[in-house]
Every structure is written in C-alpha cells, then in structure tokens.
Structure 1
Amino acid sequence: MKLSRLIILLCFSIFGLMSTMGDSHAADPVIFVPAADNGIQLPEELTLGPCSAVDFDSEGRMYLFHRGKQPILCFDRAGRFLRSWGDNLIGQAHGLRVDQHDHIWVTDIGNHMVYQFDSQGKILLAIGQPGKPGTGENQFDKPTDIAFGRHDEIYISDGYGNSRVMKFAANGKYLGQWGEPGKGPGQFNLPHSIILDRQGRILVGDRENNRVQAFNSEGKLLEIWTGFAPYGMEFDAQGNLFVADGRANKVLLLNSSGKVAQSWGRKGAGPGEFNLPHMLTADTADNLFIAEIGGKRLQKLLREK
C-alpha cells in the first residue's frame, strides 16, 4: 500500500475513534475505510450533478437521485448501469427512498411533488399539485423526504416552504399532519429528513434547528436530540443510526440517547472527506453510501468487521 494511502486510512480511522472518547457507555467502535471508488459504472455520456439521495432495493439494485440529466439512475448489484428516468418530470431532485415492496419514492422540490415508481420507472402514484406549492391537504411546498410506517402509511417531511410532517395512506389518501414554524418543541425550521426506528417512532431531522425530534405515529412529541444538523438519516441492518451533517461535512453515528458516538470526515474532496453530504444509505454489508451536493459525487465507506 502506498504511504499516502496508508496515512489517509489511518487518519480516517482516528477521526472515528476519537469521537468515542469520554463516552463510558460506548460500544465497540465502528470502523469505516474510504473505498477506492463508489462501485458504479456511469454511462460515458452522463456526468453527475449534485447528488441528493441514494438507496437500495431488496435485490441489491441501487437508485441514485441527482440534479442533472437522467435524474433517477438505477444500477445492478455489481454496479452496472441498468436504466434511468425522470427527464421532463423531475424539477429538482431531493429525497429518495425504497419501500418494503421495492417501490421507489422521490421528493421533487422543484415541482412540489412526491412520486412513487416501480423498479422500471413507471409512475404508480403522484401526490401534490405540479408547480403549485401550497398548504392544502393535497399540496406541498418543497417536500424533502419520505418514511414508511409498519402498515404502509407514508410520512413526508414538508419541508422548505411548509414546516410540517404529513401522513398519507398507501394509496395517497391524506391522514393528517403536525408541525408549524418555530424553535419550540414540536415546531420545525426546515424538516429535512424523516425515518422510522424499530420502535415505530418517527424521527424528523429538524435541520435549521440543529436537532432531531422523535414523535409517535400521531405526532405526539417524545424526545429531542440536539447538537448537529441532520440533513440525512439512515439505519443500518444492526439498527445503528447514521446522520449526514451537511453543515459540518461529517457523517455521524448516534447512540440510543441521540448523542454523537462517532464521527467521520471533514470538508474536502479527498477520500473520506465531504462537500455537503446530503443523504445516505447502507447496503446489506453495512457499507455506507453518501450522496454529496457540493461534491457532485457518490462516496462509499467500507465497513470493517
């Protein structure tokens, strides 16, 4: 191994290990090594724009959402390009999640829409009014992310224009909402990411308030975790919660109390460095994939067992 590469790996591991110091209840540290590449093969004619979100389906196919031509990109388990879609539909890419049925959901902050697709790119459901932001039950104002309940209910963080969480049935029927602008408990200043934990709590990344707020399925506030900017959130298969902190240009690991247990990265363009990490996902081997807005790239961190 070249000396420069060895130094990078050692420094990156140290960044992760240092953050566990002082936590007497810390588990064995998680160790990541920056991969030599992200493992995907782009078509020659395609250049990535700002990358906003990434996720996998149950077959190991990757879906990458970026702000450029062919905004939704699909790759097979080996990283080979399969298909793309979204031109002349997506105004501006933001969130992307794959549900338990392998349906692909995206939030479009350009056209104020949420779409559900099958794995071939066919539209199955569209929620919102294209190009018409608003506060109604069938409107969004730059929706940011999607989460899925145990009974296929849909939770949408809405978002840049509206400071609320909206709840829908699997067929798109409006079920309710909560939240308003502000800094107080249960209020939001840009709800930017949303995910459910194993207890069924809805975790909302309240980005500009530098906190995560946890709610039950009806919007009752349960907990507040502070001290970081939660641009994106994802659980790995072990139940570890990782956060992309786009303001600090770091990836964070939170403990069960919502405290930062470990962190990786700093601002830069090198391996293991970040330029506005936006959203992230984990594969079945617990490797992390981070979509970068500023870096216009997808980065892979290899999990060492």
Structure 2
Amino acid sequence: MDLHRLISLSILAMTCLMLSASFATAADKINFVPAAGNGIQLPPGLTLGPCSAVDYDSEGRMYLFHRGKQPILCFGPDGRFLHSWGDKLIGQAHGLRVDQHDNIWVTDIGSHMVFQFNPRGKLLLAIGQPGKPGTGENQFNKPTDIAFGRHDEIYVSDGYGNSRVMKFAANGKYLGQWGEPGKGPGQFNLPHSIILDRQGRILVGDRENDRVQVFNSEGKLLEIWPGFAPYGMEFDSQGTLFVADGRANKVLQLNSAGKVANSWGRKGAGPGEFNLPHMLTADTAGNLFIAEIGGKRLQKLLRQK
C-alpha cells in the first residue's frame, strides 16, 4: 500500500470516529438537577411577568424576554443586571434569539412584528407592519420565533394567525415562504418554534400537531418527529437538541432521530417542576435555562458531569 493511500485511509477512519462520537454524544442521556437559583439579579422594583424566551450572546450576556415592564432584560456573565429596553415598542413578548453577530431578534405577537437590536438595545431592523396582521410578504400574524441560516438568512415561524414559515435576507428582503393550515405533511397547526441544525436543516415546532417537522432551506419536507408539543427548541454546544414541552410541563432531550432520550419535570412550582415551560437556552457549560409563562420565572437546570 503506498503512502498516499495509507494517509487517505487514516484520515477517513479518523473522520468516521469523530462522526460516530458526535452522534453518540447527541444520543447519550444527559442528567440535570435543579439549581438553587437562576443566577441573575433583577433590577430593584422589577417583578417578572410571564417569561417567554431567553438566549445568550458570544460574550456570555443573557437576554430575557418577559411580559411586563422592561420587557428585554440584559444580564452580564456574572448575572448582574446591565440594562433593559422595549417598554415603548414591544406589544407582547414571545420569541428571542441572538444571531452569530450578537444581534438580538425578537418576535412581538402584540404588534405582529419582528425586531432586530444591537446588544445595547438600539433598533436596527423592523420587519412587518405595526398593528396590521396579514398574509402579505411584509406582514405577520403573531409571529412566534426566529432562526438564522449560514448566510445570515432569517426564518420566521408565523405562527398563531398564519400557518407558515417565512424566509428573509439579512436586510429584511422577502425571499419566500411555505406551509398552510392542516395536519398533513408540510402543513402546520401553530408553528411555534424554529431552529437550524448543524446540517442546515430547518426544524419547525408544529405545536398543536404535536410534532417537529424537518425541512431543507427551500421548504422541502425531510422528516417528521411526532409525540410531543415543541413549544421551544434549543441545541447545546455539542449539538444535543432540547425541547420545552409546554403541554406536558417537561423539558425533553431528543436524539438525532427525533426520539425522546430523556426528560425532566412535571407540573408544579417547585425546583425542577414547570408551569408552561415556553422557550429555553443553554450556556457554554451546558446548563439549561427555561423561561416559564405560567410560572413567571426563569429556571436553571445544572448539567451533571
């Protein structure tokens, strides 16, 4: 066997081992325990309303979206409150995501808008027509969540009033859409959450149909994962998918085939219990943070090594 062929086979074997390890990590059960607190310090005089979404940026700052005064709250890596914004703009909080450039995007089901901000809260982009729900290319009807493609394209699950996914360029230019009301393949009954996996596939949490539907970037249906109500979805840094099932009041870990590998919680107000877990995120250590609508709180689950 010549040297070049030996090197090629060695590289191939190493690649296979890396991929196998990656898939095994995504399928292995992960254990969590409730934390004593959520690790953040609220500003004086503020009481959280229903908490709808939470995410981190690359600097370790946390952004919490809730239905109350100071709707977008920013905390430092140490949990210290830094600043807030949105009182005169946000109608009703729903989804919040941070893109790869540390811009903060939110969906507002009160005003039927999608907003983009910088980390200081400066408004950079607004998509939609304020207070005017509709089915047009520049309209939403209670949009629920946002996801980002590899080339900064934006996917919006549009959501409570419409049953579709909309695609936009980074500057907000309309690029296309797919979906319609129904229970069949590719149809939606409240597309409530949306996220992209490492392969660039678009996972849509089809909430009232109790399933996740998986599409390519042009809206071609690839897979359907039934059996739970995907209110919120998030990947950790290892590529493991977690789901907030608001109907079951649980947090789920899914494997690469969309099957439930582990779950935590039940309905209640105690540590590790949930009252309508809505959306969630993971920090760099793999801990989970869950925003609760009914519980009006942010809860932290500590990852066990």
User: TM-score with structure 1 length normalisation?
Assistant: 0.91
Instruction: Show CA shifts across 1:197-216 (max 9, x none).
Output: 00100000000000000000
Q: What amino acid sits opposite 2:46 in the alignment?
A: L
In structure 1, the partner of 2:196 is: 196
One-letter identity of the residue aligned with 1:44: P
Question: Is the 8 Å Cα contact of residues 27 and 255 (structure 2) preserved in structure 1?
Answer: no
- Partner amino acid for 2:31? I
**Residue of structure 2 equivalent to 1:210:** 210
1:100 — aligned with what?
100
CA distance in 1, matches of 2:142, 2:27: 38
Matching residue's letter, 2:200? G
**Which residue of the partner structure matches residue 35 of structure 2?**
35
Alpha-carbon distance between aligned partners in 1 of 2:31 and 2:175, rounded to the nearest angstrom: 41
Which structure has the bigger radius of gyration?
Answer: 2
Instruction: Give the Cα–Cα distance (whole angstroms) in 2 for the partners of residues 259 and 97 of structure 1.
Output: 25
Aligned partners of 1:148, 1:214: CA distance in 2, in Å?
Answer: 15
Partner of 1:268: 268
Q: Where in structure 2 are there 5+ consecutive unaligned residues?
A: 1-24
Report the alpha carbon displacement of residue 28 of structure 1 after superposing the two structures with TM.
3.8
In the alignment, the residues of structure 1 paired with residue 154 and residue 129 of structure 2 have an alpha-carbon distance, to the nearest angstrom, of 17
The Cα shift of 1:88 comes to 1.3
Rounded Cα–Cα distance in structure 1 between residues aligned with 2:243 and 2:36? 22
SS in 1 for 2:134: coil
- The answer to whether residue 135 in structure 2 is matched with residue 135 in structure 1 is yes
Aligned equivalent of 2:237 = 237
Q: Secondary structure at the match of 1:231?
A: strand
Match of 1:14 in 2: none
Matches within 5 A, 1:158-237: 158-237=158-237
Q: Indicate yes or no: 2:64 matched with 1:70.
A: no
Partner of 2:17: none
Give the match for residue 15 of structure 2. none
Letter in 2 for 1:32: F
Task: Letter of the 1:113 partner, please give it.
Answer: M
AA matched with 1:59: E
1:126-148 per-position Cα deviation (integer Å, ceiling 9, x unaligned): 00000000000000000000000
After superposition, the C-alpha distances for 1:12-64 in whole angstroms (9 at most, x for unaligned) are: xxxxxxxxxxxxx9954211010000000001210000000000000000000
Query: In the comparison of the two structures, how many residue pairs are matched?
Result: 281
Seen in structure 2, the aligned counterparts of structure 1 residues 32 and 217 have a Cα distance that, compared at 3 Å, is same
Distance between the aligned counterparts of 2:26 and 2:195, measured in 1? 23
AA at the equivalent of 1:243: V
Question: Matched residues, percent identical?
Answer: 89
What is aligned with 2:157?
Answer: 157
**Unmatched segments (≥5 aa) in structure 1:** 1-24
Judge conservation of contact 1:141–1:159 (CA < 8 Å) in 2: yes
Residues in 1 aligned to 2:136 and 2:28: alpha-carbon distance in whole angstroms:
47
2:80 is the counterpart of 1:80 = yes
Question: What letter corresponds to residue 45 of structure 1 in structure 2?
Answer: G
For 2:230, what is the secondary structure of its paired residue?
A: coil
Residue equivalent to 2:284: 284
Q: Quick one: structure 1 residues 192 and 26, their matched pair in 2 at CA, closer, same or farther if it must change by over 3 Å? A: closer
Question: Aligned letter for 2:95?
Answer: G
Q: Which consecutive aligned stretches of 4+ in structure 1 deviate over 3 angstroms post-superposition?
A: 25-28
Structure 1 SS opposite 2:208: helix
Distance 1:45 1:26, change over 3 A: closer
Letter in 2 for 1:253: Q
Q: Is the 8 A contact 2:51 2:64 kept in 1?
A: yes
Q: Take 2:256 and 2:126, find their aligned partners in 1: how far apart are those partners?
A: 35
